[in-house]
């Protein structure tokens, strides 16, 4: 009974408690005020995204052309270029592109060498012109000049003849990359072994500083009397040396240390030593004569170094030096090119101007040589010949020009 009463009292109080709690809850809710949402400031306007500009693919290096496109083609004397053409045929024999040239070259022997009309007709019917074009689509490039210089030297060293002309040192390694990757045709690495590693070969500064002629005295071909003339001999790639007894020795390019060529004329101009328009061979030589104590440091700014081989001077010396094609160069009809873009040995029609002049120089030439500084599609080095007069022309030549390479029909151009 008591338990039952107690239960009844609790039951009767519960509704009152619930009502009181609900009242308090409602009162609390009534006192809570809703905080308005803050208004976000306007976002700054984003700059417009520039449209995606598609970079056009590089232009094909060889663009088809017509004979009428070649300025001065009909005025040039093909008879003057024909001996060089036949030399190219001889030099291309056995090379990878010889199959495309074999029939053309065999038939060329039947053409009369003094018949300009017959030579022109032969070229126009057996070859096709292709305009050399830079990757950016332009067709103009740099045309420089080179020559075969004359130096004075001796077989033995003396106070007068103290500059060594070096042959290829025995520790110089040449690695033909095309043996590993055919796409790297015409690419070679030079180096030397240190332990079991191949490292870059010595730079010009290291060769001069270490005295390579002391390490390999048997590789000294000659001693000459002028450091700047020896430097330009390396740039030209070949030359002649007159010995004290009056005899003449010819030096030909043999190899290079693998370092990139750097123009010391540009170095002098960048340093403010000479105006850029005076950065010619003659301007550099004049600076060297006026600054003999500073000459070694300047020469070492070009890390490239050329090694030579001794070659005979045939006949009366009228035959030109041997180019990269392996045939004698013809003054005024041979050029050096970049073999990555122009087949070595191919005829090229060149349209440029005379050195430091606007007088046209348009003629058929032959791609018979290469050079460390000759890089690019539209790029040529014009061979002027032997001696001081040729050197005067070559040293001043830095012209703009166009080039058409002449190829047999069906010759697959590098695209």
Q: Helices (H), strands (E): how many in the chain? A: 11, 17
- Asked if 230 and 165 count as a contact pair (C-beta separation under 8 A), the reply is yes
- Asked if 81 and 366 count as a contact pair (C-beta separation under 8 A), the reply is yes
Q: Is 167 a domain residue? A: yes
Q: Is 164 a domain residue? A: yes
- Asked if 402 and 340 count as a contact pair (C-beta separation under 8 A), the reply is no
Q: Is 271 a domain residue? A: no
Domain range enclosing 344: 62-262+302-407
Q: Is 33 a domain residue? A: no
User: CATH number of the domain that 359 lies in?
Assistant: 2.40.40.10
How distant is the alpha carbon of residue 85 from its chain centre?
25
How many structural domains is the chain composed of?
1
Q: Which residue stretches of the chain have pLDDT < 50?
A: 1-22, 24-32, 415
Q: Is 88 a domain residue? A: yes
CA dist., res. 116 & res. 51, Å (int)? 57
Phi/psi for 325 (5° steps) reads: -75, -15
- Asked if 349 and 81 count as a contact pair (C-beta separation under 8 A), the reply is no
Q: Is 186 a domain residue? A: yes
Q: Is 163 a domain residue? A: yes
What confidence score (pLDDT) does residue 48 get? 78
What confidence score (pLDDT) does residue 11 get? 40
The two structure tokens encoding residue 403 = 């080039």
- Asked if 230 and 166 count as a contact pair (C-beta separation under 8 A), the reply is no
Q: List pLDDT tens digits, range 18-69.
A: 444 445 444 444 444 555 555 666 666 767 777 877 778 999 999 999 999 9
pTM of the model: 0.81
CA dist., res. 88 & res. 142, Å (int)? 23
CA dist., res. 194 & res. 183, Å (int)? 28
What confidence score (pLDDT) does residue 413 get? 60
The two structure tokens encoding residue 325 = 């094609």
Q: Is 228 a domain residue? A: yes
Helices (H), 225-342: 227-236, 264-270, 281-290, 295-299
């Amino acid at each position: 009974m008591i338990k039952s009463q107690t239960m009844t009292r609790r039951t009767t109080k519960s509704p009152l408690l619930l009502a009181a709690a609900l009242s308090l809850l409602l009162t609390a809710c009534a006192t809570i005020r809703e905080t308005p949402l803050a208004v976000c400031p306007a976002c700054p306007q984003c700059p417009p995204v520039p449209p995606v500009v598609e970079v056009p693919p590089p232009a094909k290096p060889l663009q088809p052309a017509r004979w009428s496109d070649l300025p001065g083609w009909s005025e040039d004397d093909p008879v003057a270029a024909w001996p060089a053409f036949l030399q190219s045929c001889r030099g291309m024999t056995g090379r990878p592109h010889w199959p495309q040239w074999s029939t053309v070259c065999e038939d060329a022997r039947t053409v009369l060498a003094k018949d300009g009309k017959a030579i022109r007709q032969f070229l126009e019917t057996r070859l096709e012109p292709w305009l050399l074009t830079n990757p950016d689509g332009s067709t103009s490039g740099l045309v420089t000049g080179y020559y075969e210089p004359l130096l004075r030297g001796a077989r033995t060293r003396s106070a007068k003849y103290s500059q060594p002309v070096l042959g290829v040192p025995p520790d110089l390694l040449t690695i033909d990359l095309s043996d590993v990757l055919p796409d790297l045709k015409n690419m070679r690495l030079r180096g030397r072994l240190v332990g079991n590693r191949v490292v870059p070969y010595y730079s010009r500064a290291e060769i001069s500083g270490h005295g390579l002629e002391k390490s390999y005295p048997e590789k000294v071909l000659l001693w000459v009397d002028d450091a700047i003339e020896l430097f330009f001999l390396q740039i030209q790639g070949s030359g002649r040396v007159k010995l004290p007894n009056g005899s003449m020795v010819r030096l030909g390019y043999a190899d290079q240390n693998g370092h990139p060529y750097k123009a010391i004329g540009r170095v002098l101009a960048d340093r403010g030593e000479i105006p850029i328009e005076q950065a010619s061979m003659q301007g550099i030589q004049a600076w060297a004569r006026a600054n003999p104590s500073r000459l070694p440091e300047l020469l070492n700014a070009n890390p490239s170094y050329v090694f030579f081989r001794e070659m005979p001077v045939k006949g009366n010396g009228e035959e030109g030096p041997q180019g990269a094609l392996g045939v004698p160069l013809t003054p005024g009809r041979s050029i050096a090119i970049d073999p990555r873009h122009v087949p070595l040995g191919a005829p090229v029609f060149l349209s440029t101007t005379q050195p430091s002049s606007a007088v046209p120089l348009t003629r058929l030439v032959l791609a018979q040589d290469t050079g460390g500084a000759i890089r690019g599609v539209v790029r040529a080095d014009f061979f002027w010949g032997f001696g001081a007069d040729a050197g005067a022309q070559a040293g001043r030549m830095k012209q703009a020009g166009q080039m058409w390479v002449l190829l047999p029909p069906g010759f697959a151009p590098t695209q």
